Amino acid sequence: MAIVTGASRGIGAHVADALEQGGYAVERGSRSTAPVTDRGAVEAWVAEVVGRHGHVDLLVNNAGVIDAEVPLADSDPDQWWETVEVNVRGPYLMTRAVLPHLTPGTGRIVNINSGAAYRNAGVATAYNVSKGALARLTSQLGLGEDRAALVFDLAPGVVRTDMTESMVMHRGRTEWTSPGEVTELLLAIAAGDLDAWSGRLVRAGLDTPSSLSARASAGLGELDRTLGLIPWGDDDPLT
């Protein structure tokens, strides 16, 4: 069975629908079900889900928000911090609650992330900071011999949703990532076809299951598709 947060609309709804069509029992989270920033509500909901199903095969941390597209000096402190809480505290609380109940060896966690985690930008700084933090959470849990679980960052590209259509940076956009490109990667991850990418980012619209499998077969470096420090060269003391 699968848990999908933020599944009442947008990407979360597409993901939940695709999983159901793929044969999964899906529990759809929303603000009315369990606000992801509320520890008590999250723990109670996950306990209820586990009580019905006995285990969790897949957690998709999709719930997320974006702050106003203004420079940090013009941002609203309450909105800024709420964005960080939803986008970081939410996945943390959900992951913490679900980890003990993941199917041993095959349970997977997918964090819906963004290219904003890897780029410098002068506006919507809370969103950018929060997605960078989420990328670090993914790699810390999903990389290495002692990894906690199979954990993946899935960047959906720019899917046409209420959130993206409201954003200044996407005004006039004519090319969008299709929901099918997102769910194709999600289902491949869920099926175990991309386990070599645990701890790393995959991006819908640019990556495909076949291209990612081919790249993994050629070998992945320790820092490939992760968020990390780029040294200035071989003589950098931080290498």
What tokens does 182 get? 């997102």
Rounded CA gap, 188 and 184, in Å? Answer: 6
Which residues have CB under 8 Å from 145's CB, separation 6+? none
Per-residue pLDDT of 188-225, as tens digits, reads: 999 999 999 999 999 999 999 999 999 999 999 989 99
Does residue 79 belong to any structural domain of this protein? yes
Predicted confidence band of residue 165 (pLDDT cuts 50, 70, 90): low
Rounded CA gap, 103 and 172, in Å? Answer: 44
Rounded CA gap, 75 and 126, in Å? Answer: 9
Q: Is residue 131 annotated as part of the catalytic site, yes or no? A: yes
Tell me the average pLDDT across 8-13.
94
Rounded CA gap, 136 and 171, in Å? Answer: 30
Does residue 228 belong to any structural domain of this protein? no
Per-residue pLDDT of 27-60, as tens digits, reads: 999 999 999 999 999 999 999 999 999 999 999 9
Rounded CA gap, 70 and 226, in Å? Answer: 27
Does residue 156 belong to any structural domain of this protein? yes
Does residue 229 belong to any structural domain of this protein? no
CATH of the domain at 74: 3.40.50.720
| Catalytic choice (24, 92, 118, 131) | 131
Lowest pLDDT segment from 77-81, 170-174, 232-236: 170-174
**Residue 46: per-residue pLDDT:** 98
Does residue 225 belong to any structural domain of this protein? no
**Residue 126: per-residue pLDDT:** 97
**Residue 170: per-residue pLDDT:** 65
65 in helix, strand or coil? coil
- Which amino acid does the sequence have at 209? P
Per-residue pLDDT of 89-113, as tens digits, reads: 999 999 999 999 999 999 999 999 9
User: Would you say residue 127 has pLDDT above 70?
Assistant: yes
**Residue 143: per-residue pLDDT:** 96
User: Would you say residue 164 has pLDDT above 80?
Assistant: no
Residue pair 93/42 in contact (Cβ under 8 Å)? The answer is: yes
**CA end-to-end distance (rounded Å), the chain:** 42
Does residue 67 belong to any structural domain of this protein? yes
Tell me the average pLDDT across 148-170.
80
| Catalytic choice (24, 92, 118, 127) | 127
Predicted confidence band of residue 145 (pLDDT cuts 50, 70, 90): confident
Q: Phi/psi zone of residue 38: left (φ > 0), alpha (ψ -120 to 50 degrees), beta?
A: beta
Work out the percent of the chain whose per-residue pLDDT is above 90.
83
Does residue 111 belong to any structural domain of this protein? yes
What tokens does 108 get? 């997977």
Residue pair 49/28 in contact (Cβ under 8 Å)? The answer is: no
Q: Helix axis angle, 39-53 relative to 90-98, nearest 10°?
A: 40
Nearest C-alpha neighbor of 108 from the set 39, 48, 192: 192
Q: Is residue 118 annotated as part of the catalytic site, yes or no? A: no
Number of domains composing the chain: 1
Does residue 190 belong to any structural domain of this protein? yes
Give the domain extent around 113. 2-218
54 in helix, strand or coil? coil
